Amino acid sequence: MKDTALYEAILGLVSPWSVSSVQLDEPSHRITVTVAYAKDTVQCPTCQKTVRKHDSRKRVWRHLDTCQFETYIEAKIPRCDCPKHGVQTLPVPWASSGSRYTELFEAKIIEALQTTSLLAVAKLFRISWGAIAPIMGRAVSRGLSRRQLDNVEHLLVDETALCRGHDYVTVLSNRAGQVIAVSDGKTAESLAACYAVLPMKAKLQTRSVSMDMSRAFINATEAYFGHRAKQIISIDHFHIAKLLTKAVDDVRKQDAESFPSSMKRECHRTRYGWLKRNDRLNKQLRVLICELSKIMVNTGLSWVFNEQASRIKPMINAANTVKAHLPRILNAMRMRVSYGLAEAINAQIQYIKLCARGYRNKSRFKMAILFHFGQLDMAFHHKR
C-alpha cells in the first residue's frame, strides 16, 4: 500500500477527495498529508445545486499523531459561488466547520476528557486549554442539538459559585442526575432562563421542583408553572436541617457574648457539640456540654426565656420560616423529593472546578458543566 492510499483509508476519503502527497519532516517531527479536490464543479452547501468552483483557500488541520510525529492535513478548500447563496466554503469530510482539528482528533480529546483532568489532556495531546475549549463547545452543541428531554417529572435547582468569588451560576437538573440547563447568576431571571430550555410538555408533566428557600427561585417557578407551582415547589428536610443548625449556632454565639472570657472559650470549643444529637456526642464532649448546660441554663437560657425572648430570635425566625414554607416542605415529603442529588451534582461540579484550577471564565464553566453532567451524546455519528 502506498503512503497516500494508507492516509486515504485512515481518513476515510472518497472521490473527489484524495491524498496527493505525504511529507515527513524529521527535524520538526511533523507529517503533512496533502489532500486534493479533483473536480471543477462543487455543490452549494446550502441548496446542493452544482455550480462551478469559484476559487480555493489553503487550510491546515491537526490530526492524531502518526507514531511520535504530529500529523497535519493540508488542503486547498474549494469555494462555490452559488447564484442564490453567494460565495461559500465547502465543508470537508474530515473536520467540523470552523475547527482546526480533524474529527478523529476531537473525538480522542472528548474521550480523554471524560476520564482525565483538563490539564492532563492538554499535556498528553500537547494542546492548550484555549484550544480544548472550542472542541468541548462543539461537542456540547452537537449533544444539545440531538437531545430529547424526556425526564422532566422531578427537577432540582441549585446554585454554584464560580472560583472563590461571589459570581454564581444556576443549575437545573433532573432526578436522573442529568444537568438540563446552566445560566448566569442566581436570580429569578437565572432560573427563568433554565426553564426556557424545557420542552413545552414540562408545564404539564413536571410534578416537583426541589429548591432551597430562595425567594428568587420560588418567584421564577411561580411565574413559569402558574397555579400549579403551589403543588410543585418542594423544599426538603436538608434545607430545614441547615436552617435549624444555623439558628442553634446563632443562639450559641449570642449567649457567649455575655459570658466571661474563660467561658467564652469553652463555649467556642464545644460549638460543634451543640449542633449534634446527644447520642452522637463522644463521652468527653457530652460531659462538657452537660457541665456547660447547667451554667447556660442558669445564666443564659432561663434568663433568655423569662426576660429577653428576643435572644432566641434566630430560633423564632427559623420557626417562622419553616411555617411560611410548610406547604412546600409537605410537597417535598409527598413527592419523596430528596435534595441529596442536587448536592451530589454540586459536589461533582466542585471537583471539575478543582481539576481545571478554578474556572475564571463563566461561559467555559457553564459549558464544562453540560459537557460532564449533561448526559449528552457528543459523538460524531456520520461517516466512520
Using CB under 5 A, which residues numbered 81 to 100 contact Zn ion? Answer: 82, 84-85
* Site size with Zn ion, rule: CB under 5 A: 6
Encoded one letter per residue, x for contact with Zn ion by CB under 5 A and - for no contact, window 64-83 reads: ------------------x-
Q: Is 50 in the site for Zn ion (CB under 5 A)?
A: no
Residue placing its CB nearer to Zn ion in the complex, 81 or 250: 81
What are 43-48's contacts with CB under 8 Å, separation 24+? 43/80, 43/90, 44/80, 44/82, 44/84, 44/85, 44/88, 45/80, 45/88, 45/89, 45/90, 45/91, 46/82, 46/84, 46/85, 46/88, 47/82, 47/84, 47/85
Map the footprint of Zn ion across residues 213-242, applying CB under 5 A: none
- Cβ 85 to Zn ion, closest distance in Å? 4
Listed in sequence order, the residues at least 6 apart from 188 whose beta carbon sits closer than 8 Å to its beta carbon are 216, 217, 219, 220, 223
Q: Decide whether 43 or 348 has the Cβ nearer to Zn ion.
A: 43
| Nearest distance, CB of residue 56 and Zn ion, angstroms | 18
For Zn ion, which is the closer residue by CB, 82 or 370?
82
322-328: list long-range contacts, CB under 8 Å, 24+ apart: 322/240, 322/243, 325/213, 325/235, 327/230, 328/218, 328/233, 328/234, 328/235
**Binding letters toward Zn ion, positions 10-49, x by CB under 5 A:** ----------------------------------x-xx--
Q: What amino acid occupies position 111? A: E
Q: Is residue 12 within 8 Å of residue 93, measured between CB atoms?
A: yes
Question: Toward Zn ion, which CB reaches closer, 78 or 374?
Answer: 78
Q: Name the residue nearer to Zn ion (CB basis): 85 or 228.
A: 85
Cβ closer to Zn ion: 50 or 114? Answer: 50
For Zn ion, the binding residues (CB under 5 A) are: 44, 46-47, 82, 84-85
